[in-house]
Amino acid sequence: MVKRSLAVVILFLLLGGMAQGQSGPNTVTDIQIEGNEYIATEDILNAIEIEIGDEVDGEILRENMERIYELGWFYDIFVDYEPYEGGLRLIFQVMENFEIKGIEFEGVSVYTDEEIKEEMRLELDYVLNTRRLNEDLRRIEQRFQDDGYILARITDVHLSEEEQVLYVTINEGYLNEVRVEGNEKTRDYVIEREIVLEEGEVFTAHKAQKTLQNIYNLDFFSENISSNLEPVDPEKNIFDFVIELEEVDTGNLGAGGGYNTRDGFYGFIDVQERNLFGRGQEVGIRAEIGRNRTYEIYFSEPKLMDTPYSISVNLRRRVEHDSQDVTIDGEEVELDYREIRQGGSVTLGQQLTEILRLSGTARIDHSKITYEDDVLYPKTTQLRALSFTARRDTTDIPFSRRLSPTEGGIEIGTIEFAGYLLGGDFDFTKITGELRRFYPGYELDHNWALRLKAGTMFGPDLPNIPRNEKLMVGGSETLRGYDFRYFEGHRMILFNAEYRFPIYGIFEGAGFIDTGYAWGEDQSLKLADMGLGIGAGVRLDTPLGKLRLDIGYRPDIGKFKPHFSIGQTF
């Protein structure tokens, strides 16, 4: 601050100071500081660049006054002078800021005063330092920004001289409403239940991002989801959050054929609608015809009666031809058979947190096995089971149907009770656990995928349970290079390692190593018994999912085996 006393000094310098001695009228012969009570004189002098013997003019004085002012301790500064030892004594008069006894924040709801004060360096019961105050205010605003409150701003700072309290007013920025545009088929309530922002609350970018992610996860819209903030009352810092969507086709019709080691040559038709009548429900029908035949229909509702619970229903029928060893008149022989297995299941689930989901499934399966040439009477059984599953997903890609994660992992634990109080022909318990991990690869868009899976079964009816209820290893989903269900029993362990990479367009590639084994309760695991498969494959990204061809090699017999399937291995 430049005051009138500075002008007096400048006038004195211009007039030449006729009566001054040999040093000259504008030569500094002494410097003094007056008016400071709290701030040490030495600290003020250190900010001054004028030294004894210097020639002083008005611009130099102005610059040094500004340097003192920038220390932040003073609300006013002026300079005076008096003749001294043939030259000029400069007297810097400083007026210290008020002493601060306390700090109060107004308009803040997302933090406590103590949390905000953590960002401040101001000292209480001491003189206010305006430079430190400005730095503190910038840190406070940055705290709001870093925590997602991107509209927050400091609107007023004032000091109560009587109370000696500093009052800081903050407008946190408020949401008026969320507007969604561009949905023609999808009903508004389907989108609105994915919105975590609330009207009237402090706007946060984290909730906005979570809202956009939830909507994208519906898989009803393209990646071109855009959003913006439109001012409603800029003076009061109130905005609308506008989301613009672009719907995609949610119905798929696929048909084709192929060959796999389990069913031989087959044909299939798959009809799917992921957004039935715009209500967010999914329905699908799949039929597979060949040596073995499968018919399946399913329906899922992600928000049952607008509750946090999801429900899915599955009805299926499978006609399978296979062979097994049976004992007839004390002799073990291999017989071909036909099994008709039909049943259904109902699954109720809930997303407890962003990464944890729990579900329970009740299922009933009815099976009838007819042996060739009616050597044995048909065998009819019924199974009733109840299972509970916990799934924890920390992968970096929530849209796993389209992309492969590059970070994080998935843990899945399931326990299933069959029979007992539920009825049916078999009593047993099955427990499985699965651990998946994903890591970046050697280049962009490459990644490692690892899986470790283990399971065990116990119960009085283990020797007699249906073959399809046993734990198994072998085939395109577990141990490639081996036939489906090559190993089966009441214990199992499996490890898969894949390196996944893009090839071109919708084509992707993978190299893999699989090892695993399944064994009976009266056996023990030996490393020499573990199956090993090594190979590579390609994936074709289609509306039905990833069509997969893997070629597995068995080092123990030196043979290759192809595997056709849909979807990633895990």
CATH class of 99-171: alpha beta
* Structure confidence by residue, pLDDT tens digits, 67-120: 999 999 998 998 888 888 888 899 999 999 888 888 999 999 999 999 998 888
Mean pLDDT for the stretch of residues 17-35: 69
With a cut of 90, say whether residue 357 has pLDDT above it: yes
* Structure confidence by residue, pLDDT tens digits, 433-466: 999 999 999 988 899 999 999 999 999 999 889 8
With a cut of 60, say whether residue 236 has pLDDT above it: yes
Residue 496 has what pLDDT?
98
Q: Which residues contact 393 (CB under 8 A, 6 or more apart)?
A: 355, 357, 408, 410
500 burial via Cβ count (<10 Å: 0-12, 13-18, 19+): buried
The residue with tokens 């101001």 is: 122
444, 446, 564, 463: which is closest to 521 by C-alpha?
A: 463
User: What are residue 365's phi and psi, to 5 degrees?
Assistant: -130, 130
Residue 502 has what pLDDT?
92
Integer Cα distance of 3 and 5 in angstroms = 5
447, 412, 405, 451: which is closest to 431 by C-alpha?
A: 412
CATH class of 174-244: alpha beta
Q: Are strands 174-181 and 238-244 parallel, antiparallel or unpaired?
A: parallel
Integer Cα distance of 3 and 81 in angstroms = 13
181 membership: H or E segment, kind and range: strand 174-181
Q: Are strands 471-473 and 409-418 parallel, antiparallel or unpaired?
A: unpaired
Residue 410 has what pLDDT?
95
The CATH superfamily of 4-96 is membrane protein fhac (3.10.20.310)
User: What are residue 22's phi and psi, to 5 degrees?
Assistant: -70, -25
Mean pLDDT for the stretch of residues 156-161: 87
pTM, to two decimals: 0.72
Residue ranges, CATH 3.10.20.310, the chain:
4-96, 99-171, 174-244
Question: In angstroms, what CA-CA distances link 505 with 176, 252, 502, 508?
Answer: 43, 20, 8, 8
With a cut of 60, say whether residue 2 has pLDDT above it: no
Structure confidence at residue 140 as a pLDDT band (50, 70, 90): very high
The 10 Å CB-count burial string (b at 16+, else e) for 119-145 is bbebeeeebbbbebbebbbeebbebbe
Tokens of 249: 């086709």
Higher model confidence: residue 324 or residue 75? Answer: 75
Structure confidence at residue 321 as a pLDDT band (50, 70, 90): confident
Residue 413 has what pLDDT?
98
Q: Which SS3 state, helix, strand or coil, does residue 376 take?
A: coil
Structure confidence at residue 10 as a pLDDT band (50, 70, 90): very low
Residue 189 has what pLDDT?
93
In the chain, what is the straight-line distance between the N-terminal and C-terminal CA atoms, in Å? Answer: 71
Q: Which amino acid is at 480?
A: R
With a cut of 90, say whether residue 359 has pLDDT above it: yes
- How many other C-beta atoms lie within 10 A of the C-beta of residue 565? 21
The residue with tokens 């018994």 is: 529
User: What are residue 138's phi and psi, to 5 degrees?
Assistant: -65, -40
* Structure confidence by residue, pLDDT tens digits, 418-441: 999 999 999 999 999 999 999 999
Structure confidence at residue 258 as a pLDDT band (50, 70, 90): low
With a cut of 90, say whether residue 492 has pLDDT above it: yes
Average pLDDT of every residue of the chain: 88
Residue 155 has what pLDDT?
93
* Structure confidence by residue, pLDDT tens digits, 327-346: 777 788 888 888 899 999 99
The residue with tokens 């097994």 is: 324
Residue 261 has what pLDDT?
57
Residue 279 has what pLDDT?
94
Mean pLDDT for the stretch of residues 188-201: 94
Instruction: Indicate the CATH number for domain 394-570.
Output: 2.40.160.50
Mean pLDDT for the stretch of residues 205-218: 90
Residue 337 has what pLDDT?
86
Q: Which amino acid is at 429?
A: T
Q: Which SS3 state, helix, strand or coil, does residue 135 take?
A: helix
Tokens of 164: 């000696």
Tokens of 536: 């590579």
Q: Which residues contact 265 (CB under 8 A, 6 or more apart)?
A: 257, 258, 259, 290, 291
Q: Are strands 28-34 and 87-96 parallel, antiparallel or unpaired?
A: parallel
Asked if residues 17 and 8 have their Cβ atoms less than 8 Å apart, the reply is: no
With a cut of 70, say whether residue 208 has pLDDT above it: yes
Q: Which SS3 state, helix, strand or coil, does residue 234 take?
A: helix
Residue 1 has what pLDDT?
41
Question: In angstroms, what CA-CA distances link 552 with 319, 413, 441, 546?
Answer: 27, 28, 22, 18
* Structure confidence by residue, pLDDT tens digits, 362-405: 999 999 989 887 777 788 999 999 999 999 999 875 443 446 78
Residue 20 has what pLDDT?
39
* Structure confidence by residue, pLDDT tens digits, 549-566: 999 999 999 999 998 887
Residue ranges, CATH 2.40.160.50, the chain:
394-570
